[in-house]
A and B are shown apart, each in its own frame.
Chain A
Amino acid sequence: MPKIPGMIVGLGVTARTFVRTVFPDGLLKPPNPSKGAHTVQYPREKEAPPARARGVIALHNDNCTACMLCARECPDWCIYIEGHKELAPPRRAGGKPRQKNKLDRFDIDFALCMYCGICVEVCPFDALFWSPEYEFSEPKIADLLHDKSRLADWMETVPEFLTYEDGSEQKVRKVPEPSS
């Protein structure tokens, strides 16, 4: 069979996409472009993002030790952390009281964030998580600075950790319950 010229193949591609979009149930059924199209009519219907989608960053307060690793690795310097040291009761009776880092401020400026995920990657204590939630736009740019409590609220939207496919490095991460 002689090779069909690419010009004609191209016309076939657009024609086939047209038919598939307008008649998703076959040519004999009534046309239904809303079903055939790959897009959704956004404000009315919403697309469920994949579980690993990078929407917004959530913070699990209790795990954070204010070690500043995320703030230092952030390419945009959009993470602001302040903390102080507190004395915690000793582990064994009669022992020395432990020193603990207490988090005073943990802000992420999503106006600057470029969603690279390096902070989530470097956090040694599993305090930062990706959430697929994407609807957090604000009329004022300053409101995109999410503080500690707002970041903690996002923890509710973090899905359970999905195991990687076979053959890849198995790394299991436990997603903690949102702290009250």
Chain B
Amino acid sequence: MISTLAVALDDYWVTTIFRIVGGLVAILLPAGTLVYLFLFKMMSFMQSRLGPMEAGPYGSLQLVAEVGKWIQKEDIFPERADKYVFALAPVVVLISTFVLVLVVPFGPDAVLLDLDVGIYFALAVSSISVIGILMAGWASASKYALLGGLRAAGQLIAYELPLVLAVLGVVIQAETLNMNDIVRAQANWEIFGFGGFGMPFIITQFVGFCVFLVAIQAELTQPPFDMPVAESELVTGYLTEYSGLRFLLFFIGEFATAGVFSFIGSVLFLGGWWVPIPGLEVESNWWNIIGPLVMAGKMMLISFFIFWFRITYPRFREDQLQRLAWKFLIPVALANIVITGILKVVF
């Protein structure tokens, strides 16, 4: 929708403004919704309490209050910190999220950047946040931050691999890297002659979906994979020395990335903007309007699982966390790829 309007107006600046606004909406709206609905409210209900209730009806303006509080706070730099790197680190983390949302399709034309290597691009730029976290950990001149940064780097690199391998199963089945074509592949896909109305890939790629869920949980450093920010031993890891606006940027980055990874997961496994109802036209222009809503619903579904796991499980130990990635998830994902490949050739 965004780009069709922009093409109609056919002006560089209009396109740019639409892209910026669209990107901001696609980043900040899911992040705010996730934090309020899941982190504040669902977590409270799962712990038999009410959560924020004072700011606005049912605490719905709590986020405004929180952001206002963070902005007021002093921007503290540690004395021996590497000032420029320290100041840049949260921006790098946030930028990785913004670049990540570029290739997510919200409709046949409602995509900020329709790349042929879409999913490959997304997986590549999601690793940029590791650099930002390492920068934060190193520049803070604090042993807690350094240890947290190193742990985060080790964890993110370890879980990058099962993430990529889990996605590969989908790519083999869809025969494309373009994320919009992956959605179309799911819309036109059939199994043993049954189908024709477009089933999501989760039916055949269930193992891949499970590996993907665990891997993004770790990529987001959400509990139970929050060893890098383990407050009982590292204060808050690489976030220890940050305050005010820069902490807020890290915070937004964490939950916006949760939203964007949920978007990517819904494109890959749940059929993206497509609804599996027989008789719908894939190339209809209506998908540009309904698509974002469908995507939002599917994003909420995947995020619900992310936050449910976050609330339920206690933290993994560092060695358990690495063992799960290297000794369990990667072999399972590899086996999934082999089986998917064999079945793809056979049928």
Contact = CB atoms under 8 A, between A and B. Distances in A.
Q: Are A and B physically bound partners?
A: yes
A14 B308 CA distance: 8
B48 A38 contact: yes
Interface in B271-329: 308-309, 311-313
B312 A18 contact: no
A22 B43 CA distance: 12
A39 B48 contact: yes
B49 A18 contact: no
B48 A7 contact: no
SS of A interface (majority): helix
A157 interface: no
B50 A18 contact: no
Interface in A24-47: 33-34, 36-39, 41
A63 interface: no
Given A7-B313, A10-B313, A14-B312, A41 B50 contact: yes
A18 B46 contact: yes
A65 interface: no
A48 interface: no
B206 interface: no
Contacts of B311: 14
Interface in B1-56: 42, 44-50, 53
Contacts of B42: 18
Contact of A33 (B45, B308, B312, B313): B45
Nearest to B309: A11
Contacts of B313: 7, 10
Nearest to A12: B312
A41 B52 CA distance: 10
B320 to A, nearest CB: 13
A30 to B, nearest CB: 14
A11 B311 CA distance: 9
B50 A39 contact: yes
A17 interface: yes
Contacts of A37: 44-45, 48-50
A17 B48 CA distance: 6
Contacts of A34: 50
B46 A14 contact: yes
A150 to B, nearest CB: 32
Please classify how large the interface on chain A is, using the bins under 10, 10 to 19, 20 to 34, 35 or more.
Answer: 10 to 19
A21 B48 contact: yes
A106 to B, nearest CB: 40
A13 interface: yes
Nearest to A8: B312
A21 B50 CA distance: 9
Nearest to A16: B46
A22 B53 contact: no
A11 B42 CA distance: 13
A148 interface: no
Contacts of A10: 312-313
> Which of A7, A21, A22 is most buried by chain B, counting CB atoms within 10 A of its CB?
A21
A21 B308 contact: no
A17 B45 CA distance: 7
A20 interface: yes
Given A17-B46, A17-B47, A18-B46, A41 B53 contact: yes
B312 A20 contact: no
Contact of B50 (A7, A11, A13, A33): A33
Interface string A67-94: 0000000000000000000000000000
Interface string A90-114: 0000000000000000000000000
Nearest to B41: A33
Contacts of B44: 37
A42 B308 CA distance: 27
A7 B312 CA distance: 9
A11 B305 CA distance: 10
A11 B308 CA distance: 7
Contacts of A38: 48-49
A18 B312 CA distance: 11
A17 to B, nearest CB: 5
Given A17-B45, A41-B50, 10 more contacts: A11-B308, A14-B308, A14-B311, A15-B46, A17-B48, A18-B42, A18-B45, A21-B49, A37-B44, A37-B50
Interface of B: 42, 44-50, 53, 308-309, 311-313
19 contacts: A14-B311, A15-B46, A17-B46, A17-B47, A18-B45, A21-B46, A21-B48, A33-B50, A34-B50, A36-B45, A36-B48, A37-B44, A37-B45, A37-B48, A37-B49, A38-B49, A39-B48, A39-B50, A41-B50
Which are the 8 A-B pairs with shortest beta-carbon distances? Answer: A14-B46, A39-B49, A21-B45, A38-B48, A14-B312, A18-B46, A18-B45, A10-B312
